[in-house]
């Protein structure tokens, strides 16, 4: 038993070392990634199922790691936040997304909007409003075509500071949505205080539709609440036509998920704007 305990200890230490090693490696790599042009955005469409058209597109960050290939954000967003790198990288994301959206417009898809994920840390930097305005001007994109996605943790933070910045952005015409709605801080009163345009129903609820009555009930409740507060509602992570029909049935007509398209690289992004997503 003593021997086993010791082995287990060694095993944990090795695993821990490997993790620390990976973090160190990623941190070094991330510090150079912007300069080396290793970040890229993939784009996932949101479809209005009444028309089959793409109404907006979410920009999702990817890291083209020189040795590991495409690394997904769950492996490095936290590290970007912990090191403060999320501010310059986040500003790059906004700039790049605005440019891409302007390109779509120039290619004839002139109603489409682009959505960008914004981390809480970006609100703390105090350069967000300026960076967003500059990105819009540089790209020649009208503000109503940019949507910022925040999670509920942003709203639960320093209310005053976040609220001031959100009001300024919304005042400039930028749209605001609450991401992963229903999974975070649940004092719903903030919905009446914050300038918000859309709720995105978290995919964990949508994936429970048809399997768990409680998840179906939450999804229904969010859609009803959005309607009575005059907010738009987006269903995310839609993978099956059963989930799609359920959402349609409760009046949620804008959907995003692998059923329609996974996130795609920029060079293929214009293709999905041209086709009927339901055909
Ligand atoms: P999120 O904002 O909730 O983005 C949706 C995630 O769900 C994306 O994962 C997307 O690829 C995935 N997804 C879409 N449709 C489906 C589906 O039908 N089934 C399943 N299982 N998954 C689906 P991704 O791209 O790996 O991004 C993960 C998270 O990383 C995002 O979650 C977001 O919180 C964060 N993130 C991504 N890009 C950025 C960024 O530029 N800035 C910041 N701060 N965070 C970002
Ligand atoms: Ca999002
Ligand atoms: Ca989400
Ligand atoms: Ca999420």
d(C-alpha 157, C-alpha 163), whole Å = 10
Helices (DSSP H) in the chain: which residue ranges? 2-33, 77-82, 86-106, 120-124, 128-139, 152-156, 159-172, 190-193, 203-206, 213-228, 241-249, 266-274
229-233 mean pLDDT: 95
Is the shortest distance between the CB of 119 and ligand 1 below 6 Å?
yes
Cα 219 to ligand 3 centroid, rounded to whole Å: 14
ipTM over 0.95: yes
Cα 117 to ligand 2 centroid, rounded to whole Å: 5
- Quickly state the pLDDT bin for 106 (edges 50, 70, 90): very high
The confidence score (pLDDT) of residue 10 equals 66
- Quickly state the pLDDT bin for 16 (edges 50, 70, 90): confident
Is the shortest distance between the CB of 73 and ligand 1 below 6 Å?
yes
Is the shortest distance between the CB of 257 and ligand 1 below 6 Å?
yes
d(C-alpha 115, C-alpha 79), whole Å = 22
Cβ atoms < 10 Å from Cβ of 258: 12
Is the shortest distance between the CB of 237 and ligand 1 below 6 Å?
yes
What digits encode the pLDDT tens for the residues 77-103?
A: 999 999 999 999 999 999 999 999 999
183-198 mean pLDDT: 81
Query: What integer best gives the mean pLDDT of the chain?
Result: 92
> Atom 7 (ligand 1): residue with closest C-alpha?
237
pLDDT at 185 over 80: no
**CA of 259, closest atom in ligand 1:** 18
The confidence score (pLDDT) of residue 160 equals 83
pLDDT at 231 over 90: yes
Is the shortest distance between the CB of 263 and ligand 1 below 6 Å?
yes
The confidence score (pLDDT) of residue 126 equals 84
What digits encode the pLDDT tens for the residues 166-176?
A: 999 999 999 99
182-203 mean pLDDT: 84
The confidence score (pLDDT) of residue 3 equals 56
**CA of 73, closest atom in ligand 1:** 30
105-129 mean pLDDT: 94
The confidence score (pLDDT) of residue 108 equals 94
**Considering the chain, what percentage of its residues have pLDDT values greater than 70?**
94
User: DSSP state, 199?
Assistant: E
What is the distance of C-alpha 204 from the center of its chain? 15
The confidence score (pLDDT) of residue 74 equals 95
Q: 116: closest CA among 99, 130, 104?
A: 99
């Amino acid at each position: 038993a003593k021997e086993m305990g010791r082995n287990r200890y060694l095993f944990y230490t090795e695993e821990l070392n490997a993790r620390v090693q990976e973090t160190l490696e990623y941190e070094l790599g991330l510090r150079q990634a912007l300069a080396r042009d290793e970040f890229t955005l993939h784009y996932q469409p949101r479809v209005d199922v009444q028309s089959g058209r793409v109404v907006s597109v979410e920009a999702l960050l990817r890291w083209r790691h020189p040795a590991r290939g495409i690394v997904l954000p769950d492996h490095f967003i936290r590290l970007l936040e912990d090191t403060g790198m999320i501010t310059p990288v986040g500003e790059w994301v906004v700039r790049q997304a605005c440019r891409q959206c302007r390109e779509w417009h120039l290619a004839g898809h002139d109603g489409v909007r682009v959505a960008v994920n914004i981390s809480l840390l970006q609100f703390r930097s105090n350069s967000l409003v300026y960076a967003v305005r500059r990105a819009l001007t540089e790209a020649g994109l009208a503000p109503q075509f940019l949507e910022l996605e925040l999670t509920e943790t942003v709203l639960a933070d320093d209310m005053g500071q976040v609220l001031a910045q959100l009001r300024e952005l919304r005042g400039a015409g930028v749209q605001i949505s609450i991401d992963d709605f229903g999974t975070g801080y649940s004092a719903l009163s903030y919905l009446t205080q914050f300038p918000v345009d859309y709720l995105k129903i978290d995919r964990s609820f949508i994936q429970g539709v048809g399997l768990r009555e409680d998840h179906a009930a939450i999804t229904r409740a969010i859609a009803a609440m959005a309607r009575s507060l005059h907010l738009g509602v987006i269903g995310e992570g839609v993978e099956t036509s059963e989930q799609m029909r359920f959402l349609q049935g409760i009046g949620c007509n804008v959907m995003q998920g692998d059923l329609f398209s996974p996130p795609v690289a920029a060079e293929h992004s214009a293709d999905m704007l041209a086709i009927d997503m339901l055909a």
